[in-house]
Chain A
Amino acid sequence: MTDLLVRAVELSNPLLLWYFGFLNLFYGVLFGLSVFETWKHWVLSSRLHATERLPDEAFPPVSVIVPAYNEEPVIVTAVEALLDLDYPRHQVVAVNDASTDGTLETLKERFDLYQVPPAFPAVLDTAPVRDYYRSRTDPNLLVIDKMEGEHAGKAGAMNVGLNACRYPYCVTVDADTVVEPTALRRMARAFLLSEKRVVGTGGSIRVANGVRFDRGTPVDASVPNDLLAGLQVPEYFRAFLFGRLGWNRLGGNLLISGAFGLYEKQMLVESGGFKEDSITEDLELTVSMHRHMRESGESYDLPFVPDPVAWTQVPDSVSVLGNQRERWHRGLLASVFRHLRMFGNPRYGLAGLVAFPYYVLGEMMAPVLEVVGIGVIAAGLWLDVLSVDYALLFFGLAYGYQMLLTVASVVLEQLTFRVYQDVRQYLKLILLAVIEPFGYRQLTTWWRLKAFGTFLRDVGGWGEMVRTGFEETAGGE
């Protein structure tokens, strides 16, 4: 038995080392590419001549869809911020997803809503709608009230909104997300500069906890005092600045965040809208779009633009964060299995050859392989196959590299967009980037591992996100 275990450790250890080495080498390449992309966008955003002085007509009109389920504390702030966006032509479509609280009444009162007949062409099959409302104070606001008891998740609500969008581009925004006033104009840069058909584009998401806003603009960007929320700040930097920008260069950004993403309406309709049976509808949609465009053979672009920023409330309790991360990973598993034919398939270009395999091996399997790796090293130590010196070096290298990538993302942000300028906040951010690999990373690995269990048992849902309202965190917006 011991011989068998020794043999297993001797065989698996080099395999794991190869996996570890290859994945980290790839991270290094991705980071190198993201440095180039961040710098490019920073130069573009700081040289406003080309985009800020363009005539309004150059910007495509967009419809902003805000699904809202029990969002009474935040809905008015969110809709006001969206109506105030500095953009030449946009409408806001708020969908009350059969809320059981006062979401609709709050909207009716604040925006002086009046009922209009249901006169919208239904391009997608959706749950029934009870009423449509327009606003006397803000003519570019449309509120849709879904039938009571028809709450079917965010994707269903967004499809209802999609049917009523009148413009050729749609932006999806979560009700707990504040979009900076100039974000939409910056996001449209992709359409102004790209020579291909831009079927969608995403912007950066940052942590809103502890930040005060004045009509959508953060007045003092600060890192949350809460440790759990604070640890997500460098994590979001890593995900957006390093991860997604790097993929821009590799032509395979497989995720445009649903909390703030812009899509071509025709493309959304052709892809069948948001998948109501998916719990990570944004990932599912982005992968479907790649697949659809590759199969149609048309040249397209799905870029990520780093400087349009939306601020979102992140969970500050372990159980809510755990639910969120478990759900994200479960959604990743579902999307991977649904589109498995893309894996390594040259028909899907770089998305199939590089991005999809990375999502399978580098994202989906990472928690499993991380735990297996720890197990193999522990077994190696116990069986005297590996030395303590080797184990310490390995863990030092692995977690040190994690820290290096996080710190490098913070450096990238500070050299370019510099959101956190106050010295105290800045030092807090560095400290969080240093401690993030110890404890927090292991927690997220555990939550992602749990997703395999719930996915295989086919259980789980969205979980509850407790809204505190921007007024409380924003202090007087």
Chain B
Amino acid sequence: MADLLRTLLLVEAGILALLFLVLLAWPVVVRVVEARRARQRRDLLAAVWNHRPGDAPGEVLGALADTSPKALLWALEAVEEGGLEPEDLDLDRLIRGTPAFGRLERAARSVFWWRRQTAAQLLARLGRPESDRSLLVSLLRDPHPAVSSAALLTARELGWPGLVEPLLDLASGGGPATRGKETLLRETLSALDADVAPALRSRLRATVGQPEELTLLRIAGQLADEELLPYLRERLRHGGLEVRVQAVKTVGEAGMAGATDALRSALQDPAWQVRTQAARALGELEAEDAAGDLQRSLSDPSWWVRLRAALALRRLGEPGHELLQSTDPGEDQYAADMARYVLGLEDAALREYAR
């Protein structure tokens, strides 16, 4: 037993010695690496600043482009920091057809997610719709959220109309699984506004009751497309609570003509979550013709509906104020309490509620 303990103690001492060596050597390694990077960066920036449109690409830039996709990305970022557009540098000639671009394609299929992420980032600067669409689509479908998010950011920057269908495909099957990806997907699609609306209408027509509805409805909220209203009205009568809540939010966000009527009817929904969102949306639209409905909602059994109805009335200005002040504690104590609370809020607090 003592021999075993002795051997273990020796192993332990060896590992400790190794750790101390790492601890002592690490600051030196960090300094050397940082100094090398700073030197490369300085040389690169000098090359960029001395570059003139039509000149042959600088040797330093060419050398960096030839090293790795990450270095290439870094070089391109420095080009932009230097105040030049990548087109000025004739990047097609510089990078396409060189080993560097081949490495980018390999990086997009690498087993390491960070290399695929770099490829997605590079495409934002080098991508061409006719040749790189399928590469970008494969990155959009990447299982690692950091890669697919980077690809979504690239898609947003590129804004290729040919990406609408693949992006809407991503919304199918319940939509992207992470909050970040879903937000990016919506933003990317809203940047392609004109091309998205017809495709979205046809998908909404085909997906009643399907899991992807929620994501499609959220996307619809960012497009102020009048022709979407009939589809949204249909969802306001849907059996699923989540779908109705999202439909109300979407109607409020899109704010198309006829939205107020749809929202007023949503104030009668049996679910308090739907009524709360409807009151909130009416406030955001400053719908004066809904003042009477909002006043009735001050007596809603749900605290949240009463709060949102009172805040919506406060946003209507003088007519809303009068309705709030006219609540009678003798008639409905809850409504009067809420009206008193909202009337007592200062403007800064109201702005905070409106966020």
Using a CB–CB distance below 8 Å, which chain A residues touch chain B? 17, 43-44, 47, 49-51, 53-55, 57-58, 60, 89, 91, 114, 116-117, 119, 121, 134-136, 139-140, 191-195, 387, 389-390, 393-394, 396-397, 400-401, 403-404, 407-408, 410-411, 414-415, 418, 421, 423, 426, 430
Could you list some 26 contacts between A and B, CB below 8 A? A47-B117, A47-B146, A49-B117, A50-B117, A51-B149, A114-B346, A116-B341, A116-B345, A116-B349, A134-B345, A139-B349, A139-B351, A191-B178, A191-B179, A192-B180, A193-B180, A393-B5, A394-B5, A396-B9, A397-B8, A400-B13, A401-B12, A404-B15, A404-B16, A411-B19, A411-B26
Chain B residues lying within 8 Å of A194, measured Cβ to Cβ, are 178
| Cα–Cα, bound, A449→B142 (Å) | 51
20 more A-B contacts (CB under 8 A) besides A49-B121, A411-B23?
A: A54-B149, A58-B182, A58-B183, A91-B352, A116-B341, A117-B340, A134-B345, A134-B346, A136-B346, A139-B352, A192-B149, A193-B180, A390-B1, A400-B16, A404-B12, A407-B20, A411-B22, A418-B30, A421-B27, A426-B27
Chain B residues lying within 8 Å of A430, measured Cβ to Cβ, are 20, 23
**Chain A residue, CB-CB nearest to B29:** A415
How many residues does chain B have at the interface if contact means C-beta atoms less than 8 Å apart? 48
**Those 6 A-B pairs whose CB atoms lie nearest each other, nearest first:** A192-B180, A139-B348, A58-B183, A119-B341, A195-B177, A139-B352
Q: Would A117 and B341 count as touching, CB distance under 8 A?
A: yes
Distance (whole angstroms) from the CB of B277 to the closest CB of chain A: 14
Distance (whole angstroms) from the CB of A40 to the closest CB of chain B: 10
Q: Would B179 and A192 count as touching, CB distance under 8 A?
A: yes
Q: Would A119 and B19 count as touching, CB distance under 8 A?
A: no
Pick the contact of A410 from B23, B150, B348, B351 — CB < 8 Å? B23
By secondary structure, the A interface counts as: helix
Q: Would A400 and B184 count as touching, CB distance under 8 A?
A: no
Chain A residues lying within 8 Å of B121, measured Cβ to Cβ, are 49
Distance (whole angstroms) from the CB of B345 to the closest CB of chain A: 7
| Cα–Cα, bound, A410→B307 (Å) | 51
Q: Would B2 and A387 count as touching, CB distance under 8 A?
A: yes
Chain A residues lying within 8 Å of B8, measured Cβ to Cβ, are 397
B145 sits at the interface (CB 8 A) = yes
Distance (whole angstroms) from the CB of B16 to the closest CB of chain A: 5
Q: A50 with B344: in contact, given A55-B184, A140-B352 (CB under 8 Å)?
A: no
Q: Would B187 and A55 count as touching, CB distance under 8 A?
A: yes
Pick the contact of A117 from B19, B27, B184, B337 — CB < 8 Å? B337
Q: Would A54 and B352 count as touching, CB distance under 8 A?
A: no
Binary CB contact string for chain B from 27 to 38 against chain A (1 if under 8 A, 0 otherwise): 100100000000
| Cα–Cα, bound, A411→B307 (Å) | 53
Distance (whole angstroms) from the CB of B284 to the closest CB of chain A: 15
B196 sits at the interface (CB 8 A) = no
Q: Would A407 and B1 count as touching, CB distance under 8 A?
A: no
B74 sits at the interface (CB 8 A) = no
B93 sits at the interface (CB 8 A) = no
Q: Would B177 and A415 count as touching, CB distance under 8 A?
A: no
Pick the contact of A407 from B23, B27, B146, B303 — CB < 8 Å? B23
Q: A51 with B153: in contact, given A119-B307, A400-B16, A430-B23 (CB under 8 Å)?
A: no
Q: Which residues in chain B, 308-355, are within 8 Å of chain A measured between CB atoms? A: 337-338, 340-341, 344-346, 348-349, 351-352, 355
Q: A55 with B337: in contact, given A49-B117, A116-B344, A404-B12 (CB under 8 Å)?
A: no
Q: Which residues in chain B, 143-161, are within 8 Å of chain A measured between CB atoms? A: 145-146, 149-150, 153
Q: Would B153 and A136 count as touching, CB distance under 8 A?
A: no
Q: Would B180 and A43 count as touching, CB distance under 8 A?
A: no
Distance (whole angstroms) from the CB of A56 to the closest CB of chain B: 9
Distance (whole angstroms) from the CB of B332 to the closest CB of chain A: 15
Chain A residues lying within 8 Å of B23, measured Cβ to Cβ, are 407, 410-411, 414, 426, 430
Chain A residues lying within 8 Å of B20, measured Cβ to Cβ, are 407, 430
Distance (whole angstroms) from the CB of B252 to the closest CB of chain A: 15
Distance (whole angstroms) from the CB of B355 to the closest CB of chain A: 6
Distance (whole angstroms) from the CB of B240 to the closest CB of chain A: 19
**Chain A residue, CB-CB nearest to B154:** A49
| Cα–Cα, bound, A418→B149 (Å) | 27
Q: A193 with B344: in contact, given A53-B153, A390-B1, A397-B9 (CB under 8 Å)?
A: no
Q: A195 with B2: in contact, given A49-B153, A136-B348, A401-B12 (CB under 8 Å)?
A: no
**Chain A residue, CB-CB nearest to B1:** A390
Q: Would B183 and A54 count as touching, CB distance under 8 A?
A: yes
**Chain B residue, CB-CB nearest to A401:** B12
Q: A51 with B180: in contact, given A43-B114, A139-B352, A390-B5 (CB under 8 Å)?
A: yes
**Chain B residue, CB-CB nearest to A115:** B344
Chain A residues lying within 8 Å of B179, measured Cβ to Cβ, are 58, 60, 191-192
